[in-house]
Structure 1
Amino acid sequence: MTPKVIVVTGTNRGIGLALATELSQRGDIVLATVRSKAKVIGTPLAALPNVKFVEMEADDFGSIDNAAAEIEGLAPEGIDELWNNLGVLNVGYGASVTSVRSVNPGDMASEYKINVIAPSYLTSKLLPLLEKRQTRKIIFMSSIVASVEFSKEHAQFMTEMEVPYSYSTTKTALNMAAWYFHNQLNSAGFTIVPIHPGVVLTDMNNSRGQISAEDSATGMLGIVDALSAADDFLLRSYDGSIIPW
């Protein structure tokens, strides 16, 4: 079987590293974005076979342009999948970031730039490469806290967990961006998948994680592998469940 060529953003650690590891181990070619190639040296990521590194700063659109050009140079015959994994939670938990009485415009703007604009822009730049292959899958890393229905049904939980409103709103916006990609590209054979990775034990979630990055990656890959352009556009979870909008 011909290996797939798959772009994964934000692979230094956490879910991105777990995705790159599993894809590499099953024989796919991984084009992994990192903030610094020099800092990859000597890490578990550097030891993976079939992985090529591309430097990209998500808050720098010029860097995204350069990354897209480098990806084209590494994969001139096209890419099969794009995993928009990279994201940020700029601020910690607590009342100062969860209360609508203390909106920080700088933090919110930074999170929107990285969590919504950057993946949308990179995806747009890579569409010509995705169109060279038949797989044509684009994955947007969403979150269950992006769901208005979930948040309404679990309002007390959301308050007790002190979920930052800025992060939730960026993921809600990302879901809508994913819908527009689906609406305009599905007829051309594209499969667009917003997905909740679970509450993963990563630096972002600190001690709030419930599953490992490896279990999250395995679950998501199984779901994405089984989907095609004929499937409904839904917000899916790593465990196979459907999350209401």
Structure 2
Amino acid sequence: MNDTRIALVTGANKGIGYEIAAGLGALGWSVGVGARDAGRRESAVEKLRAAGADVFGVPLDVTDDASVAEAAELVAERAGGRLDVLVNNAGVTGGMPQEPTKVDLETVRTVVETNVIGVIRVTNMMVPLLRRSASPRIVNMSSGVGSLARQSASDDPNVTGPVAVAYSPSKTFLNAVTVQYAKELRDTGILINAACPGYVATDLNGFRGVRTPEQGAAIAIHLATLPDDGPSGGYFEDAGVIPW
């Protein structure tokens, strides 16, 4: 087990997170399937194991301190105190519509709590385990709608997404957080980057997306397996760098 690469994927019971876990599992990694819903988590674990992946369930609610602490303990026990890759995939849209003048402020709080604070909470709890890895990586699942450059340059909802004062800015916030982590961790060997999966058909968008979850997972798997001289503090999609 000590020679096996260990990853934790949050929100991995379905959609893109599930496919990230499947993809890393196919590479021979041992993958923690993080999810708060016990039934869906165990169903995903069973399905992944049936496909030959070495996976284990990790009860995890990214908005709860105690849950995240317990998840870190479970991962540490499983991996001998080490974690090689953390993929912060769990996220919510908050529901639509989200016009700025009409939005319920509680919606904004809920989205930021999960999509930003939840990432910080999980990352900070896992960093001590990542420091014990020879090639530690963190991937924050962002979105192209978090690009201020794209938002300011286009009114095309196919580029910018719908008007959404909670969801889109939460991804912009997450991108900024990713840069700050990269600065702090510059000399530690931990590479951290933000990933855009594209417009993927998942329950978050009513399955209106044009890409499959497997296609959406590809950029995360790429960033999770970067060489030691790979980038850190970047914002990427399959086609390359996304403008901030």
Q: TM-score normalized by structure 1? A: 0.90
Look up the match of 1:24: 25
What residue number does 1:146 align with? 146
Amino acid paired to 1:19:
I
Is the 2:94–2:166 Cα contact (8 Å) retained in structure 1? no
Equivalent residues in 2 for 1:105-144, closer than 5 Å: 105-144=105-144
1:105-158 Cα shifts (integer Å, max 9, x gaps): 111101111000011111111111101111110110111111110101112437
RMSD over aligned CA atoms reads 2.2
- Secondary structure in 2 aligned to 1:101? coil
1:87 Cα deviation (Å)?
0.5
Indicate yes or no: 2:220 matched with 1:242: no
How do 1:1-245 and structure 2 match up within 5 A? 2-43=3-44, 44-45=47-48, 47-48=50-51, 49-92=53-96, 94=97, 97=98, 99-157=99-157, 161-231=161-231, 233-237=233-237, 239-245=238-244
Q: Distance in 2 between matches of 1:51 and 1:154?
A: 42
Residues of 2 paired with 1:226 and 1:197: CA distance?
17
Rounded Cα–Cα distance in structure 2 between residues aligned with 1:184 and 1:161: 31
Deviation at 1:219, TM superposition (A): 3.8
Q: How many residues align?
A: 240
Distance change >3 Å, CA 232–CA 74, structure 1 → 2: closer
Q: Relative to 1, partners in 2 of residues 1:80 and 1:161: Cα closer, same or farther, differing over 3 Å?
A: closer
- Mapped to 2, the partners of 1:219 and 1:19 lie a distance apart of 9
**What is the DSSP-based 3-state SS (H/G/I as helix, E as strand, rest coil) of the residue aligned with 2:70?**
helix
Secondary structure of the residue aligned to 1:89 is coil
Counterpart residue type for residue 47 of structure 1: A
Deviation larger for 72-81 or 120-129: 72-81
Kindly tell me: are residues 192 and 58 of structure 1, through their superposed partners in 2, closer, same or farther at Cα, counting changes over 3 Å? same
2:204 is paired with a residue of what secondary structure? Answer: coil
* Distance in 1 (alpha carbons) for counterparts of 2:114 and 2:216: 22
Deviations 1:31-67 (A, max 9, x none): 1112133444445246353101110112222211221
State how far apart, in whole Å, the 2-side matches of 1:159 and 1:15 are: 20
Distance 1:6 1:133 in 2: 11
Give me the TM-score of the superposition, normalised by structure 2: 0.90
Q: Deviations over 1:169-199 (max 9, x none)?
A: 1111111111111001021111111111111
Q: 2 CA distance for matches of 1:138 and 1:160?
A: 25
Query: How far off is 1:221 after superposition?
Result: 1.6
Whole-Å Cα distance in 1 between the matches of residues 121 and 42 of structure 2? Answer: 28
**Distance in 2 (alpha carbons) for counterparts of 1:160 and 1:60:** 31
Runs of at least 5 residues in structure 2 that lack an aligned partner in the other structure: none
- Percentage identity across paired residues of the two chains: 27
Gaps in structure 1 of 5+ consecutive residues: none
Which residue identity is paired with 1:240? A
Contact 2:193 2:223 in 1 (8 A): no
